Structure 1
Amino acid sequence: MASIKQTVSAPIVAQAKDETANGPGLSRRAWIDIIQGFQSWRVWWLLGIGDIRQRYRRSRLGQFWITLSVAIFIAAIGTVYSALFKQPIEKYIPYLATTYITWTLISGIIIDSTSAFIQAEGFLRQQALPKSTFILRILVRNFVSFGHNIVVLPVIFLIFGVSPAWTWFAALGGLVLIAVVGFLGGLVCAILCTRFRDLPQIIQNFVQVAFFVSPVAWQVDLLDESVRHWVIINPFAAFLQMVSEPLLGRLPGAITYTSAAATIGVSALIAWVLFRRFRQRIVYWL
């Protein structure tokens, strides 16, 4: 048994020693890892699709259980909250649908990223695959789920008379920015949660709190002028509004895109520092 472990781990140990021997080469190897990760798109695409199929294996509705559960949530919560907030249901439910579907994408990427490397332990211990591959796997999994969820929107828009608008194209830009920050933030979460195994539970609780303090179920217009500025410093609000607002026919303000750009910049810096420094240690933490 010991000889088998030595045979399997020998290439990994040799590779790790080679990487740690050359400090200045860490940046180059980290950058190569990211490039090779994007180039091996067939791997992370098949892994992400496989995760969706495995989750709903032997289910009659399959992946469309996601769509059904989202539709039920929007109908139930939209009816109740529109009465609580004293909002016209024909305006509130389309708002809730766009924000909640976008939120499921953002929160799903964050939560799944906490186990990205842990879930890929079998691959990482046996093959020298790019680490970034498994972050892209998380993005594929959640964007496919988002594609199933967004099927609900045309039905809701048709029922409540939301007309098509050219601003819908701006929502595509918002999704691209979510993918960028999702990759960077997912890399940070994956590295830290692989090293500190208590962090996934902390991050899950944090995401639950973020749901209530972000304009998902409530609208910014309902807040007093004196507290609206707090929404500006909430990065989740910026990425929510970059998708939900254009879908409702409105363009977000410049401050929303500025907040999103600042979040991406900070995430890129943190992700690069962590990935460059600890990439070769990930296998040892598994």
Structure 2
Amino acid sequence: MTLLPSSRDWSLAARDVRKGLLDWQVWGLLALTDIRQRYTRSRIGQFWITLSMALFVGGIGVVYSALFKQEMSSYLPFLAANYVVWSTLQSIVADATTVFTSSSIYLRQEAMPRTTFVMRLILRNLITFAHNLVIVPFVFLIFAVTPSWTILMAIPGVALLVIAAFPTVMLIGAISTRFRDMPLIIQNLLQVAFFLTPVMWRPEQLGPAGNYVVGLNPFAVYLRIVSEPLYGRIPGVWTYVAAIICTLVLYAIASPFMARFRARIVYWL
């Protein structure tokens, strides 16, 4: 049995993607329902996301600014922007491990596009990102940081992040549905990636070694194209080039895999 997708596999996969993307009302409603159910009967609802993030940034910022001997007025805005973006990256990858298993009630009853649940996850995390993003201007206001026009450069960064998230969620979701050890492996890898990604430290603090740690880390690439414009820096051209290359590689791996095994996801649930 060949592992390469046939022309029929490609056709069905393309129809799945097309139909799933057009069903924006379905995945939009599912994403909003997920957010509401998470904070049902809560007094301040979804803004618990923002509050918990603000407490973390404030607590960690005070400790690590002293540990790294950084001025709090410059370190806290840096940390706030980085951690808000990192939490989104981390959440997308972690949630991808259960994107299909958590939707088994729908997939077992009706032949719904797999893309619908991928978009549900991405939109849900974008909504959470929007809530957390409120922290950044609040921190800027406290430390009298004047916003720069570079903030606009975060928009293409977010767009590229969403484009890359699509094949990532598809691939991790399918593999995690087949092999149930994958969520635990991904969880451990994310913990390691957090310390290897310049979330709480600046690349220049590592000296020449920082270029290799950051340059070879896909998480760092996507983190920088969104977070750096928020605190007034424009990422280098090679950062965008690396992000585009990573995205193309993700599609090159995920596309044939999903075309070949998309139909088996229901049987793996």
Residue of structure 1 in register with 2:43 after alignment: 60
Q: Secondary structure at the match of 1:62?
A: coil
Q: Mapping of 1:253-268 within 5 angstroms? A: 253-268=236-251
Residue of structure 2 in register with 1:99 after alignment: 82
Which piece of structure 1 moves more, 160-169 or 112-121? 160-169
Report the TM-score when normalising by structure 1. 0.91
191, 195, 220: which one pairs with 2:174? Answer: 191
Are 2:76 and 1:90 aligned? no
Query: How many angstroms does 1:52 deviate by?
Result: 0.7
Query: How many angstroms does 1:274 deviate by?
Result: 1.2
The 2-side partners of 1:268 and 1:226 are apart by 30
Residue of structure 1 in register with 2:32 after alignment: 49
Query: How many angstroms does 1:227 deviate by?
Result: 4.1
Q: Mapping of 1:1-286 within 5 angstroms? A: 23-286=6-269
The one-letter code matched in structure 1 to 2:108 is R
Residue of structure 2 in register with 1:19 after alignment: none
Moved over 4 A (4+): none
Larger relative contact order (CA 8 Å, sep ≥ 6):
2
What root-mean-square deviation, in Å, do the aligned CA atoms of Structure 1 and Structure 2 show? 1.1
Query: How many angstroms does 1:59 deviate by?
Result: 1.2
The one-letter code matched in structure 2 to 1:154 is P
Query: How many angstroms does 1:93 deviate by?
Result: 0.3
**Are 1:233 and 1:259, in contact at CA under 8 Å, matched by a contact in 2?**
no
Aligned length: 265
Task: List per-residue Cα deviations over 1:188-210 (Å, max 9, x = no partner).
Answer: 11000000011001101111110
The one-letter code matched in structure 2 to 1:272 is S
The one-letter code matched in structure 1 to 2:34 is D
The one-letter code matched in structure 2 to 1:220 is P
Report the TM-score when normalising by structure 2. 0.96
The 1-side partners of 2:64 and 2:243 are apart by 28
**Are 1:27 and 1:276, in contact at CA under 8 Å, matched by a contact in 2?**
yes
The one-letter code matched in structure 2 to 1:184 is P
